[in-house]
Structure 1
Amino acid sequence: MRIISGKAKGTRLASLGKAELRPTLDRVRESVFNILSPRIQGSFWLDLFAGTGAVSLEAVSRGATLAMLVEPGKAALEIISKNLARCKFKDQSVQVFRLEALQALKKLEAGKVQFDFVYIDPPFNEKHYDPILSTVGEGSLLKTDSWILVEHFHKEELADCYGKLNRFDQRRMGDTTVSFYAFE
């Protein structure tokens, strides 16, 4: 696993190698970032269930201004810390929080930060999609043109709408599907 493009291109990322931590594959990240590339420069990211941090670190490598990574697992947070050190990003561009996703959303609502992108990638065996997407879709964390990307098992059916979120695209890559929602 590595950073694919940008200022940290080629940096090898650490992973736990455990079955419960399923990092976003390089090919999935590359496909997603090829779609997002015109919108990344200067963007603010929220990465829920950050795992290894690969998605947000890729975003910062490609020019995102801020990435907030939310991860409840201690072992995963240690991996994120290692990967952050390997990428040599300035501390202010990446912030890491040890919180459950819904708890983080409530705290961030009070902070008045708005995000251009929210990446949601819970473990495939956990069913967090509906409450998190509903909370994001009704909250104040998004700009009017924000995109929410949800990585999920291809057999997992997500709704077309969650509050003000409307799905506008869906891409399948092997067992993984990424659903794209726009905030309207």
Structure 2
Amino acid sequence: MRVIAGQAKGCSLKAPRGMSTRPTSDRVKEAIFNILGERVPASRFLDLFAGTGGIGIEALSRGAEHATFVEKGNAALKALSDNLARTKLQDQGRVLAMDVFRGVEWLAEQGESFSLIFLDPPYARGLAENTLQAIVARGLLAPGGMALSETGQRENLPEKVGNLLRVRVAVYGDTAVHFYRDPGNSQG
């Protein structure tokens, strides 16, 4: 696992041993950021179920203004903090050590919104759709923003979640990435 592009390009990222964390593969990560393209620079990025932080760190490396990481697992939190330090991106990142739904609520109470939101919950537990619904209900996605959910390839998500419209599903082996956008956004 490594940072693919940007200021921290080539930096290796740590992951805890075992199956409690399933980092997004470099192949999937590279494809996601190729699709996002110019949306990333200067964005405010939210990485939910952040694990080791690979996606949010990639966003920071590629020019995101700020990234917030929400994760509750102790081993993943340690790796995430280490990864931010080893990439020298810790000043642009904030780590919230809490459950994702509590994190969504807390961020909304602070009046925060994000132009890009990525979520990678445990597969096949219904958490992807529930998290998207919470994001919509609490207004965390900025107008014109995009939310992405990584799921298992066979996990179905609805075409519409609240005001978000699914505009793309990209499949990479056993992994699918669902791209949702605010309907007021003119970019696809």
TM-score computed with the length of structure 1 as normaliser: 0.96
Q: CA deviation at 1:126?
A: 3.3
Q: Give the corresponding residue for 1:43.
A: 43
Q: Does 1:24 align with 2:24?
A: yes
1:1-184 aligned at under 5 Å gives the runs: 1-91=1-91, 93-184=92-183
1:138/1:164 contact within 8 Å kept:
no
Q: Residue deviations 1:15-35, cap 9 Å, x none?
A: 113112110000000000011
What amino acid sits opposite 1:174 in the alignment? G
Q: Percent identity?
A: 39
2:128 and 2:142 map into 1 onto residues whose CA distance is 20
With over 3 angstroms needed to count, the CA separation of the structure-2 counterparts of 1:90 and 1:52, relative to structure 1, is closer
2:140 and 2:122 map into 1 onto residues whose CA distance is 23
Q: CA deviation at 1:89?
A: 1.5
1:70 and 1:113 map into 2 onto residues whose CA distance is 14
Q: CA deviation at 1:139?
A: 2.3
1:57 and 1:73 map into 2 onto residues whose CA distance is 18
2:119/2:148 contact within 8 Å kept:
yes
2:124/2:155 contact within 8 Å kept:
no
1:6/1:63 contact within 8 Å kept:
yes
- Structure 2 unmatched ranges of 5 or more: 184-188
Q: CA deviation at 1:90?
A: 4.4
1:137 and 1:164 map into 2 onto residues whose CA distance is 7
TM-score computed with the length of structure 2 as normaliser: 0.94
2:109 and 2:128 map into 1 onto residues whose CA distance is 22
1:75 and 1:5 map into 2 onto residues whose CA distance is 26
Secondary structure of the residue aligned to 1:133 is helix
Q: CA deviation at 1:137?
A: 1.8
- Structure 1 unmatched ranges of 5 or more: none
1:20/1:123 contact within 8 Å kept:
no
Runs of 4+ more than 3 Å apart: none
2:138 and 2:62 map into 1 onto residues whose CA distance is 27
Q: Give the corresponding residue for 2:186.
A: none
1:168/1:181 contact within 8 Å kept:
yes
Q: Residue deviations 1:68-106, cap 9 Å, x none?
A: 000010110000011111101142x10001111111111
Over aligned residues, Cα RMSD in angstroms? 1.0
Q: CA deviation at 1:8?
A: 0.2
What amino acid sits opposite 1:19 in the alignment? M
Secondary structure of the residue aligned to 2:180 is strand
2:70/2:95 contact within 8 Å kept:
yes
